Amino acid sequence: MKTLRTASLACLTLMPLTASAQTYAPAEERPGRVVLVPMSVERPAGDGWVLSTRNNLSVTYSRVIKGANRNQLAKAYTNVPDKRISSNQELAERLRQDLRKNVNPERFKILAEDFQIDANSANKCVRYHYRTEDRQSPSADTPIIIDLQGRSCVHPDDEGIVVGSSLTTIGSASPSDKDMVAQAVQFFDGIHFYIPLTVKSWQALAEQGDTNAEVWLARHLLQTNDLEEGIVWLVKAADKGNAEAQTLLGLAYLTGRAVTRSAEDAVKWLRPVAEKAYPKAEGLLGLAYATAAEVHNEEEGRRWVRKAAEDGDPLGQTLLGEFMVFGRAGVEKNETEGIVWVRKAAEQGDARAQYLLSGLLVNGVGTEKDFIQARFWLELAAAQGHADARKTLEQIKRSSTAKPTTPPAESK
């Protein structure tokens, strides 16, 4: 649901920061947390949630509720209203107008509508509940109910920005209000505010020696292909012991982007951070040992990949799943356990894992064949730009057969 006019915040840097993040800077992105400016979002509680869409301004998780004809969406997003909002009453009225404007009365019947100032918040926040019935439900006996619990807050450091979050249940049955509210509150509490800074603001802070700003500035420079300058700032932060900067330098040396490729230098930067139980470094270190000829060590590769997977790193989970499914890197073949790890990574939004999981489901490797789920994961991977997933989807669209074209079970 888009309640306010979306503004372009392309000038903001939107990638992970350091573990020592201060109030002006988002905490580092880690397993279970997605960083957006000006907020970070914790993964919704419970099993089955999938990171389904993400861009610079919003993140959406989805979940199909087992044993019930319902699914859920949890969304966090940033909007910029036409004018600054100075009071809770003004925010509530804007939300009411936008919700009504976006509900087509010819299709949806409004069953409940409630807006309340969030007294538990120190910020300007409004909680709202909207329940509608879809008049185009397939069956009059089991109507489709859309139950929306939402919270919208004026950013505490900038009244020109509104941060919203919502939990929506869609289906022929609806959970109790008590259960829905409890789930929604838990999700809303996982939204954390940070002061939104522009690139110029990061530059000024970095020049003052702030390590967090050095990392964010380096990320922006690397993303905009100002590679040499980006590495300069990354080295400054890494030399101060910043774990994220050290990990990113290790990645640069492992891939040869912005520096001369050197697996030995990659390990030099990654291993000390991995030994401090930094999941992203653990996964990359395992990848280096498992795939780079200069430092090849299967035993170490297996050890660090498993450690990363157990610590929640999606790369580690994908690699461990691949090792088990295909019996690689000296790991005993175990398709059933392997697909469990692949699914964990896929649910965290890892495109490689999503594509691999799609192939495993189509071929019935480690699980029963499931073409519907396979298509779901394939489309998620394609939406993130996975080249093979996009190619497979194009083949499906051109195919006149009922069954989708089978993607390879082995990832690329």
How confident is residue 406, by pLDDT bands cut at 50, 70 and 90? Answer: low
Percent of the chain with pLDDT over 70: 89
How many domains does the chain divide into?
Answer: 2
Phi, psi of 329 (to 5 degrees): 55, 30
Asked, for residue 16, whether it belongs to a domain, the answer is no
Residue where a domain stops, chosen among 167, 193, 219: 193
Whether the per-residue pLDDT at 68 is higher than 90: the answer is no
Which whole number is the average pLDDT over 166-190?
Answer: 85
Domain at 290, CATH number: 1.25.40.10
Q: Mean pLDDT in the chain?
A: 86
Higher pLDDT, 10 or 398: 398
Q: What is the pLDDT of residues 231-285, one digit of tens each?
A: 999 999 999 999 999 999 999 999 999 999 999 999 999 999 999 999 999 999 9
* pLDDT, position 25: 64
pLDDT digits (tens, 9 = 90+) for 210-240: 888 899 899 889 989 999 999 999 999 999 9
12 pLDDT higher than 60: no
Q: Is the pLDDT of residue 35 over 50?
A: yes
Any domain includes 137: yes
Decide if 20 is inside a domain.
no
Question: Which residues 6+ apart lie within 8 Å of 182 measured at CB?
Answer: none
Q: How confident is the model at residue 172 (pLDDT cuts 50, 70, 90)?
A: confident
Domain presence at residue 2: no
Is 9 within a domain? no
Give the CATH number of the domain where residue 121 resides: 3.40.1000
- Co-location of 46 and 108 in the same domain: yes
Are 118 and 267 contained in the same domain?
no
28-65 in b/e form (b: 16+ CB < 10 A) is bbbbebbbbbbbbbebbeeeebbbbbbeebbbbbbbee
In a domain? residue 358: yes
- For residue 279, is the peptide bond before it cis, meaning its omega torsion is within 30 degrees of 0? no
Q: Are residues 204 and 269 in the same domain?
A: yes
Give the model's pLDDT for residue 410.
Answer: 59
In angstroms, the CA 383 to CA 313 distance is 21
Residue 212 lies in a domain: yes
Tens of pLDDT, residue by residue over 320-331, are 999 999 999 999
Q: Both 242 and 371 in a single domain?
A: yes
Is the domain of 145 the same as that of 53? yes
Claim to verify: residue 140 and residue 266 sit in the same structural domain: no
Check pLDDT > 60 for residue 108.
yes
Separation of alpha carbons 28 and 332, rounded Å: 35
Domain residues for the domain of 186 are: 33-193
**Are residues 267 and 296 located together in one domain of the fold?**
yes
Q: Above 90 in pLDDT, residue 150?
A: yes
Q: Which domain-ending residue is among 139, 166, 193? A: 193
Domain boundary among 193, 219, 237: 193
Residue 392 lies in a domain: yes
Residues 187 and 212 in one domain: no
pLDDT band for position 335 (cuts 50, 70, 90): very high
- 53 has which bridge partners? 60
Does position 17 have pLDDT exceeding 80, yes or no? no
Q: Torsions phi, psi of 373, nearest 5? A: -65, -35
Contact 195, 37 (CB under 8 A): no
pLDDT of residue 369: 95
Do 163 and 222 belong to one domain?
no
150/235 same-domain check: no
Contacts of 231 (CB under 8 A, 6+ apart): 218, 222, 249, 252, 258, 259
- Give yes or no: residues 229 and 148 share one domain: no
What is the predicted pLDDT for the residue at 5?
30
For residues 170 and 292, state if they share a domain: no
